[in-house]
Structures are given as structure tokens and as C-alpha cells.
Structure 1
Amino acid sequence: MQTYSRHGKLVRDRIPQIIRKDGAEPVTYTADREEYRSRLRDKLGEEVAEFLEADEESAPEELADVLEVVRALAADLGIDADQLEKTREAKACARGGFADRIVWTGNR
């Protein structure tokens, strides 16, 4: 996979509009498909890191950012939200979820 310049970052679609409203003129370009996928993966890491650093008050917003990136990655892979949920449900049915808070420490 090709690596891209660290100059710039993937931002939400309305960010340029918000910057203009604040009186500045953003410099942007549209990533090609390969760069977009790479930058989405980077963005996922960034958003997960922000969630891990968040306090209880800001955690829901940060978690929503993670979900937004996950949905964008799924769409890029041709998976719609319903398909993604069905895949999650099937995996939860086969292997369980995390509600029981089980911590595995190895085998005997």
C-alpha cells in the first residue's frame, strides 16, 4: 500500500464550509480512492486514540467519531450499515459479545 504525505488530513465533509464561515479560506483537494482508504485507516487510529484519552463526559462524542469512520470504511468496502450490523450480529451469535465482562488469562 502506498503511503501518503502527512501534509493534510481527512476531515468531515462540512469542515471547509465551517472554516469559510469563520472567515478563512481552506485549501483542500479530493483524495483518490486509494488515498481515501489509507487516510480513513489513519483517521480510525486517530479517533480511537482520542476516545481512549477522553473523560466520561466527552467519551460519547469521541465514540460517535469512531463509529462515523467505521461506517465510512464499510461504505468504501461496499458494505452498507445493515450488512455491517448483520455481520456483527452473526459474530456475536457465534462467539458472543462483551456484556459479561469476561477476561481470559490463559489455559490450564
Structure 2
Amino acid sequence: MRNRIPQIIRDGGTEPVVYTAGRGEYRHRLRDKLGEEVAEFLAADDNTAPEELADVLEVVHALAADLGVDEDQLEKIRAAKTAERGDFSDRIIWTGNR
């Protein structure tokens, strides 16, 4: 969970039950959270999609950090892949080969 959520729960008058996960559990939970956030994005309408996409990005950044990759490194990897293989801006759909 986001690290400010326990305090937000406390501010609402309830005491949260939390613990700090070990590395393996943390990575597993982040992967699960990524799936959850992607599902929420896919179900969102155009009004809420940007907020859900920001949640996906937050989890991606947490996963990258857990792998020892900071945001600058992640961006360099993304840019290198774009330079090599292109991006998605042309809306090209591949349907197979002849």
C-alpha cells in the first residue's frame, strides 16, 4: 500500500494493522498490485483513465526501484527500446506475416 495510507486511516479514527514485507513478498505484492492497477485502468472511462494510468506508473516505478533501477535508468532503457524498435504513436496493428 502507499506509505501515507496508514496515517490517512488513523486520521479517519481507525488503527490500521500493517507490517513491513520482506523483499520476496514485497516484489510479489507489487506484481499483484500492477495487475490490479492495470485492470482498473482498462475498466476506466476517459475521465478517470489518466488517474488510473498514474497509479500504474507509480507501481512501475516501485518495481523498478526494487530491481535497483531508478527512474532515469528506466527512462534510458525505454528510450533505447524506442530508438531500436519505435514507439506506439503511429497506431500500427500487426496481424501476422504472409
Residue 93 of structure 2 is aligned to residue 103 of structure 1: yes
* Equivalent residue, structure 1, for 2:18: 28
* Equivalent residue, structure 1, for 2:31: 41
For 2:49, which of 40, 59, 68 is the aligned residue? Answer: 59
Report deviation, 1:103: 0.4
Unaligned runs of 5+ in 2: none
Amino acid at match of 1:22: G
d(CA) in 1 for partners of 2:6, 2:26: 17
* Equivalent residue, structure 1, for 2:4: 14
Deviations 1:36-86 (A, max 9, x none): 000000000000000000011110100000000000000000000000000
Report deviation, 1:26: 0.3
For 2:79, which of 79, 82, 89 is the aligned residue? Answer: 89
Amino acid at match of 2:55: D
| Percent identity of equivalent pairs | 76
For 1:78, which of 68, 80, 90 is the aligned residue? Answer: 68
d(CA) in 2 for partners of 1:72, 1:29: 18
Runs of 4+ aligned residues of structure 1 deviating over 4 Å after TM superposition are none
Amino acid at match of 1:66: V
d(CA) in 1 for partners of 2:27, 2:71: 17
d(CA) in 2 for partners of 1:105, 1:43: 31
Unaligned runs of 5+ in 1: 1-10
